[in-house]
Amino acid sequence: MSALPSMSGHHAAGAEAYDVVVVGAGFAGMYMLHRLRGQGLKVRVYEQGGDVGGTWYWNRYPGARCDVESMQYSYSFSDELQQEWNWSERYAPQSEILRYVNHVADRFNLRPDIQLSIRVDRAVFAESTNTWSVTTSDGKTVTTNFVVLATGCLSNARVPDIKGLPDFKGQVYHTGHWPHEPVDFTGLRVGVIGTGSSAIQSVPVIAEQARHLTVFQRTANFSIPARNAELTSEEREAFRKNYPEIRRFAREESRNGIYAELPDRGALDDGDNARRAKYEQRWTKGGLTFMLAYNNLILDKAANDSAAGFVREKIAEIVRDPETAKRLQPEDHPIGSKRICVDTEYYATFNRPNVTLVDIKSDSVEEILPNAVRTRSKDHEIDALVLATGFDAMTGSVARIELRGREGRTLNQKWVEGPKTYLGLMSEGFPNLFIITGPGSPSVLSNMIVSIEQHVDWITEAIAFMRERGLETMEASREAEDRWVAHVNEVAHATLYPQANSWYMGANIPGKPRIFMPYIGGVGVYRRTCTEVAANGYEGFVMSAAERAQKMAVSS
């Protein structure tokens, strides 16, 4: 326990008082709790799910796995933990990741400070006391000095507004909100709407069960084989032995928080044969790092075209029906400008006699009938419908909470033209409100665990800094925030990313402002920026002591 006093000095009488309220008990909220408790702070975590795990609690669809290898998609803060946990596969299934999260909750005794099945509905900052009042779905209000939003980037499942959907007489599922009981599609005609990562993982598994599967595709996506396999004990040992360097590299040198061999040249620096051999090698190795074949794939359109062309050729080789292969070949965005998908037998699934691909760009969905999806040209009869339609990403979960900062202004009002933050950590006008992996930080462009740990450590240190100096509020300055928002956009527009209608841009939500949300500058670069900001006395942030505390100091 820290020798410093708890901070809950100026809270209104009556309400329960905390130093920090954390919203969400996924990977971010759990580690945040662990660090803050280590500082002797009184912390309460609210989690709307029935258990810990966040994304991994909700996304239970068939075939759900992470697209970052488990030996790297895992906490690094405890060497004992990373040495003792046995990942079974290169990409562990969702159930195993959830077991791991639960193991962490127990191992670090986190549960007593986590309240489950409780949503945070509103948080209001009181300028008179410099505290937040947090109201939860059970009607209670507590006060706290700090609020940390650990609400996740992809946690607000999005059900599209399709005519007739409520009248469908079979079961409707959303991949991001999957039932806890096993779903059995045996003997059923199933429809899947959407072809993003969630669909690409679930389609091959559903196809094995269903009598017939119809996949409704609006936009084709690039997918690379996962090459998932059981991990041998030698492979696990190699990671464990080299963890110090693997983790250091991921944090400090990588762009995306993943330890991987970095390319030393651009795609056009190699001749046709050498380039093809390199893509082939990456394709055979599998996984997200396909995009690391060359150092300019996401910067130079001609370089990108060479990689995209390679994957299109692979699709044509795998898929036997030329019409279907053509429909599956993405043509409307550069490869990697939407998160590249990682699959097991996705394209090959379209060779099965019980699978049909419907291109709903040319043959759009008109409505859902009680027993079918009606597209312009025909009714596709189905018994069950899976919506793999994604999330209101990055801002969606934050937007669902009524957050009122200075002068009663809500964050939704402030972000009406797109999210504005300084470093993705704080937003001006909202003192003592931190966001873990918020818009404006590498977040979804990285191995989330690396970015989560970096933010949690930074926030922990900022709070400790304030306590040591008797400071009561911290917030982003308008000027620093404006500069950061401009920088995030400038970096994004120097790449091919904005050329895709992706959820990175908010383009999947009708009416959502189009602004590039994650920071592309790279995990290592971003980390150095945050470290320098802190070393320079939290440059760009305004910190202040309470007037009351100052008065007390003067009079004593």
Where on the chain is the footprint of ligand N01 (CB under 6 A)? 65-67, 154, 160, 175-176, 193-199, 201, 218-219, 339, 342, 360, 388-391, 444, 503, 508
**Residue 377: CB minimum distance to ligand N01, A:** 16
Residue 370 CB burial class (10 angstroms; 0-12, 13-18, ≥19): exposed
Nearer to ligand N01, 431 or 518 (CB): 518
Question: How many angstroms separate the CA atoms of 308 and 207, rounded?
Answer: 27
User: Which residue in 231, 49, 84 sits closest to 157, CA to CA?
Assistant: 49
Nearer to ligand N01, 160 or 266 (CB): 160
**Residue 333: CB minimum distance to ligand N01, A:** 9
DSSP tag of 176: G
Nearer to ligand N01, 175 or 441 (CB): 175
**Residue 80: CB minimum distance to ligand N01, A:** 26
Query: Contact, 514 vs 505, CB < 8 A?
Result: yes
Nearer to ligand N01, 297 or 476 (CB): 297
Nearer to ligand N01, 29 or 62 (CB): 62
**Residue 275: CB minimum distance to ligand N01, A:** 27
302: left (phi over 0), alpha (psi -120 to 50) or beta: alpha
The 3-class secondary structure across 260-281, one letter per residue, is CCCCCCCHHHCCHHHHHHHHHH
Nearer to ligand N01, 133 or 289 (CB): 289
Query: Contact, 10 vs 127, CB < 8 A?
Result: no
**Residue 130: CB minimum distance to ligand N01, A:** 37
**Residue 455: CB minimum distance to ligand N01, A:** 18
- Bridge-partner residues for 172, per DSSP? 385
Nearer to ligand N01, 39 or 214 (CB): 214
Nearer to ligand N01, 114 or 207 (CB): 207
SS3 state of residue 22 = strand
Q: What is the DSSP string of 442-481?
A: SGGGS-HHHHHHHHHHHHHHHHHHHHHHT--EEEE-HHHH
Question: How many angstroms separate the CA atoms of 447 and 255, rounded?
Answer: 10
225: tokens are 């084989």
Question: How many angstroms separate the CA atoms of 55 and 29, rounded?
Answer: 12
Which H or E run contains 365? Answer: strand 365-369
Q: Which residue is nearest to ligand N01, using beta carbons?
A: 196
**Residue 136: CB minimum distance to ligand N01, A:** 27
**Residue 391: CB minimum distance to ligand N01, A:** 6
Which H or E run contains 554? Answer: helix 547-555
**Residue 328: CB minimum distance to ligand N01, A:** 12
Nearer to ligand N01, 287 or 521 (CB): 287
CA angle, residues 474, 479, 482, in degrees to nearest 5: 105
